[in-house]
Structure 1
Amino acid sequence: MSSPIPKFSDLPLDKNGPHHNAWGLYGKDDQLGTLNRLTDDIVKAAASEIQTGTRINLDWPLDAQADVPFFGRQAFEKNVYQKPPRIVNDDVWTFNTQSSSQWDGLRHFGYQKEAKFYNGVTLDEIHGRNGVEKTNRNGIGAWAEQGIVGRGILLDYHAWRIKNNIPHDAFETASISAETLQKVAADQGTEIHFGDILLLRSGYLDAYNKLSRADVEAMRQKQPLTFTGVEQSEETMEFLWSNFSACGADHPSWEAWPTRKEWSLHEVMLAGWGMPIGELFDLEGLARQCREVGRWSFFVCSKPVYVPGGVASPPNILAIF
């Protein structure tokens, strides 16, 4: 049986485009990218992961970072007000979609040197400037039509590295390699299926929850901010490209930050392949459930908010066992 996707060595598909791109694989107007891998058959097969009906929330609260979010982003604000004379309340929320759990959409991060987003979309198309008509192409709303739904796997790197006495600092630049991720999967006895939704527990939230406000405020002043994340390498890209429909983690950068290469995984995954990147997912309860049942695979249901032309979205995500 032939592979449903080109080999990693076949990239870039558009030879006139940036490195490692898969532009045109699903047509020049495609806005789903690797979510095209979540076919009806793959989602139907993933439903077999539901055995008990136990549901685990993976969203961090929208106000979890309070008034001190990293990267200088706006804090979540909630205004609850009564509509007198009735005993009725409404509320208004104001927030940056990047300040808590989020899916990075295809308008978030482009190829930096080429200034192009997935399938060649430009900044002028997104912002409607320099005589170019503004469009909603690559908006997060396109993902809301069918959601991000399928078989999820948790690679609990945090538990694995503690078990193996491997030092770790969530707030310093360091890399987690593809080889390490495969070792974690083998140690857990977790099989990887094509089209899986990968969730990586790096240990960031465990570390963040132990910080004082003074610690957080001090870290926010660092320039640049530094975080441990997935390694920027050919091996990592091949591992991700060959297996997954979407990738998420518990830390704010997905990859080692700042990048240790002249390019970043955000460029290749978002702008090159159209692969969703999830950040700041709360995977602590999920890790406990996986350990309890001895299974690190489950059904995932995520419904991005339907905002045409949006850049990112809260994931609204559940793992179901």
Structure 2
Amino acid sequence: MSTSTRWKKRPEGSTWGDFGPDDQLGRLNLLTPEKVKQGVAEVKEGLAFGLSLPLDYPGGAKLNPRRKPPDLRPTDLSGDPFMNMPLRRFDKRNTDVVCDDQVNITLQYSTQWDTFAHVGSWFDADGDGEPEKVYYNGFRAHEDVLGPGDLKLASCGCGEGGSYALKLGVETFAVKAIQGRGVLVNLHAHIGNTRERVGYEQLMRILDADKVAVEKGDMLLFYTGFADVILSMNKGPDMKVLNNACATLDGRDEKLLQWVTDSGVAALIADNYAVEAYPARDTEGDAERAALPLHEHCLFKLGVPLGELWFLTDLATWLRAHNRSRFLLTAPPLRLPGAVGSPVTAVATV
């Protein structure tokens, strides 16, 4: 563990400092050249599977009222929309007809990566008895992760109402160029579309039954069928159905969280809304706890990115038909400096 000027103590069981005092990649550091070669070695057929939903799914803003579908529209020139624009307008000799568009997009609306700046925690990193708002490896709210009113925003070219992650932004994942060996667990084959919180014991039974081996540095994916249900709703999500649909991990299961730690996985990915059950199981008493315990454990403590709302159906079907669970996964996010999440157009190659 490397010492850091940002913190005097780290959360119990965390990886803070393990990859260096200023590390921003967490267990993505385990995606070494050797791990990439392990992923490449799984390519037997040369078949590629796209793992993203259309970016205008799930549709509307019912899954999360803060997250809106993309607003796609043409760019304009002098007030004229640049769509089917004949360039002979500018020179009668020109034969070109041009379309040029732009989008206002919520970065975590559809298939996405969560960065370590997405979820932090109140934690006494200074050891002075008073908790602070901190993120992975002790990076600080209002100093390293900026929001409206923070003084440093101006230096990022942002207005007072803007936001910018000076540290832990999604561009660090993009520069890493996330690639390595993916391992898929087919929860849907065992549970179907029934809403069920999967804890450690049940997950171990499923891994044993399907002979799925998970090793340090693997990226672990869970196919639940949730994205299939979303697609069937044709951008009109029915929350009564979705709130009771498909398997999800039980973030309150301490044994499951410890397994995530011990397994050494580099990322957790699912085709559902949050990887873990949300809302999480309630707890008794007044003791403080995370509303999103798996998010806190992975993003805040371990430095394990979370992928949500991926489309895994075709890949899962092919893998099960061929008695396989491993593949090459390539999944870099947008290289958008300062963002705390990103769409991802991931590809699995088998």
Shorter-chain TM-score bucket reads: 0.7 to 0.9
Alpha-carbon separation, structure 1, partners of 2:338 and 2:98: 32
Q: Which amino acid aligns with 1:250?
A: D
Alpha-carbon separation, structure 1, partners of 2:238 and 2:190: 26
* Of 262, 286, 307, the match for 1:278: 307
Which residue number in structure 2 is paired with residue 142 of structure 1? 172
* Of 34, 45, 52, the match for 1:41: 34
- Could you say which structure has the higher helix fraction? 1
- Kindly state the Cα deviation for residue 195 of structure 1 after the two structures are TM-superposed: 0.9
Q: Which amino acid aligns with 2:120?
A: G
Structure of higher CA gyration radius: 2
- Kindly state the Cα deviation for residue 239 of structure 1 after the two structures are TM-superposed: 1.5
- Kindly state the Cα deviation for residue 153 of structure 1 after the two structures are TM-superposed: 1.0
TM-score (norm 1): 0.84
Q: Which amino acid aligns with 1:234?
A: E
Which region of structure 1 is more displaced relative to structure 2, 178-187 or 262-271? 178-187
Contact 2:59 2:235 in 1 (8 A): no
Unaligned runs of 5+ in 1: 6-13
Which residue number in structure 2 is paired with residue 254 of structure 1? 275
Equivalent residues in 2 for 1:218-257, closer than 5 Å: 229-232=248-251, 233-243=253-263, 244-257=265-278
DSSP 3-state at the match of 1:115 = strand
* Of 191, 194, 203, the match for 2:213: 191
Structure 1 residues 197 and 75, CA gap change in structure 2 (3 angstroms): same
Q: Which amino acid aligns with 2:272?
A: H
Q: What CA deviation, in whole Å up to 9, does each residue of 1:244-297 have, x standing for no partner?
A: 100100111111111225221111211111110000001111111112222111
Structure 1 residues 315 and 58, CA gap change in structure 2 (3 angstroms): same
Equivalent residues in 2 for 1:59-98, closer than 5 Å: 59-72=52-65, 73-80=67-74, 81-85=83-87, 86-98=96-108
DSSP 3-state at the match of 2:133 = coil
Which residue number in structure 1 is paired with residue 188 of structure 2? 158
Equivalent residues in 2 for 1:167-182, closer than 5 Å: 168-169=194-195, 174-182=196-204
Which region of structure 1 is more displaced relative to structure 2, 67-76 or 37-46? 67-76
* Of 127, 131, 135, the match for 2:146: 127
Alpha-carbon separation, structure 2, partners of 1:148 and 1:212: 31
Structure 1 residues 315 and 242, CA gap change in structure 2 (3 angstroms): farther
Alpha-carbon separation, structure 1, partners of 2:18 and 2:337: 23
Alpha-carbon separation, structure 2, partners of 1:234 and 1:43: 31
- Kindly state the Cα deviation for residue 229 of structure 1 after the two structures are TM-superposed: 2.0
1:314 pairs with 2:333? no
Q: Which amino acid aligns with 1:192?
A: V
Alpha-carbon separation, structure 1, partners of 2:308 and 2:168: 19
Q: Which amino acid aligns with 1:152?
A: G
Which region of structure 1 is more displaced relative to structure 2, 299-308 or 127-136? 127-136
Structure 1 residues 288 and 17, CA gap change in structure 2 (3 angstroms): same
Alpha-carbon separation, structure 2, partners of 1:108 and 1:197: 19
Alpha-carbon separation, structure 2, partners of 1:302 and 1:168: 29
**CA RMSD for the aligned pairs?**
2.6
Which region of structure 1 is more displaced relative to structure 2, 258-267 or 282-291? 258-267
Q: Which amino acid aligns with 2:21?
A: K
Unaligned runs of 5+ in 2: 2-6, 75-82, 88-95, 124-131, 157-164, 284-288
DSSP 3-state at the match of 1:208 = helix
1:53 pairs with 2:46? yes
Q: Which amino acid aligns with 1:41?
A: E
- Kindly state the Cα deviation for residue 28 of structure 1 after the two structures are TM-superposed: 1.9
Alpha-carbon separation, structure 2, partners of 1:132 and 1:70: 33
Contact 1:227 1:253 in 2 (8 A): no
Structure 1 residues 151 and 202, CA gap change in structure 2 (3 angstroms): same
- Kindly state the Cα deviation for residue 84 of structure 1 after the two structures are TM-superposed: 3.7
TM-score (norm 2): 0.77
Alpha-carbon separation, structure 2, partners of 1:101 and 1:193: 25
Which region of structure 1 is more displaced relative to structure 2, 141-150 or 17-26? 17-26
Identity among equivalent positions (%) equals 29
Which region of structure 1 is more displaced relative to structure 2, 179-188 or 302-311? 179-188
Q: Which amino acid aligns with 1:118?
A: Y
Contact 1:68 1:217 in 2 (8 A): no
Q: What CA deviation, in whole Å up to 9, does each residue of 1:104-131 have, x standing for no partner?
A: 0111111156421111112202216555
